[in-house]
Amino acid sequence: MNTPAHDLFAGDDGETRRFGFRSAPRQKFAPWHKARKQFIRSEHWGAEIQNLLMDTGSSSPIKYFGLPGNDMLDLRYFVSEYFPARTPKLRFLAFDRLGRQGNSWDSASATGSLAALRRMDGVDNRSEVFDEELALIGEPDSLASERFNAAGPFDIVNIDLTDGVAKSSNESAPSMYAAIAHIFDLQRRQKRPWLFFLTTRYDSMNVHRDARNHFGSIILKNLDQCASFAHAYDRCFPDQRPAFGTPWSTDATAVGICKWLVDLAVNIGCEVAIRWVAKYRVQDSAGEPDMLSLVIRVTPDLRPTGVRAIGVLPLKVDECLQAKQIPGAVKDSLDVDKLMQVDEPARDRALADTADLLVATGRYSADEYFRWIADGAPSRQVEAPQQRQPVSELAPRGAPG
């Protein structure tokens, strides 16, 4: 980070603290506090946000939709890195299940995080966080859908899930499929390039059979009708064509998810560039990757409005051309866990930045965080202490990220 987050954010109770930890209900470290998440946040999401800002050159607020969690670490990072000045501001709409499980501290911490963000010069004061479920966006008469429609369209959409976008049947209600489809449909109103981030489980235990069949059908359709896609797929994944009723590879699932998103973009007349595909492990650190992180840039018809208004038909986007990039992007996906093991400077930067973000909330100790990392970041979440602790400079060398 260019400037430590703890120098930019006051603690959420109004105090500025660089080394402190206020007396409060204990907070636990979670898988998304590992170095790999900050690497994706900065090197994938952040890099594309920076490119978007440079390309658009707009002074109007940049609209962001996401699922930030109680500590709002993504938003804290984006504001401190890319919106430090007054123009353009970041205007965000966030959905979160505040205190939905009887945890009043969750609600209080989210409210405090929102207050801390609103104090920043780079945040539009119309930014809001609501206690809403993402899937309800797909329900036309829901308050979630109404709020989403009113605030959009967005420049950045960040769907950062802890489980699978395809975990339930596409016939379930509320439907995650319908929600994502509605997001893309709303975005047809967006007249400048925009970003879509998706983080989702994609292992066999988190992909419903209906979703697998749907992904398989759209892949098979492209294999049959698009020679360039078929060539790319067979080159990248020989002898791995999907077949109904047979086990799937995670690569085929990743291709299916990408293909689904590309179809949604093509249906609203947009071109797609798959900027990043990354993967890492949540369930079994020694097993195969089970979490997928996608970054795509969506570009609408950018011809002058007057040209479109005089009866010129919208540009017809070549779906085959858009789809042929998918197999290579998935084949070349970055294993972030392995990178954190071999690239020590990248890992140390990510750990230091994460510590800054956590300490800035006033609810975590940096020393305890680095101790958690040195212990292997166990799945059994370690509780942060309530006492003040001095901040360590770096995690011990060789500690897993």
- Residues 218, 205, 237: CA angle, nearest 5 degrees: 45
Alpha helices in 104-192 (DSSP H): 104-118, 143-151, 176-186
Q: Please answer whether residues 361 and 319 qualify as being in contact, where contact means their C-beta atoms are separated by less than 8 angstroms.
A: no
Longest CA–CA span in the chain (Å) reads: 68
3-state secondary structure of 279: strand
10: confidence class by pLDDT, cuts 50, 70, 90: very low
The answer to whether the peptide bond before residue 68 is cis (omega within 30 degrees of 0) is no
Cα 262 to Cα 137: distance, rounded to the nearest angstrom: 20
- Residues 74, 296, 280: CA angle, nearest 5 degrees: 60
Whether the pLDDT of residue 370 is over 90: the answer is yes
pLDDT (mean) for 370-383: 74
What is the pTM for the complete model shown? 0.85
Cα 67 to Cα 87: distance, rounded to the nearest angstrom: 24
Total count of residues recorded for the chain: 401
- Cβ-based neighbours of 146, under 8 Å, separated by 6 or more: none
More confident position, 144 or 284 = 144
- Compute the Cα dihedral for 230, 234, 235, 236 and give only its sign: positive
3-state secondary structure of 291: strand
In the chain, the N- to C-terminal Cα span, in Å, equals 18
Query: Quick one: tokens of 197?
Result: 């981030």
Whether the pLDDT of residue 354 is over 70: the answer is yes
- Cβ-based neighbours of 307, under 8 Å, separated by 6 or more: none
More confident position, 388 or 350 = 350
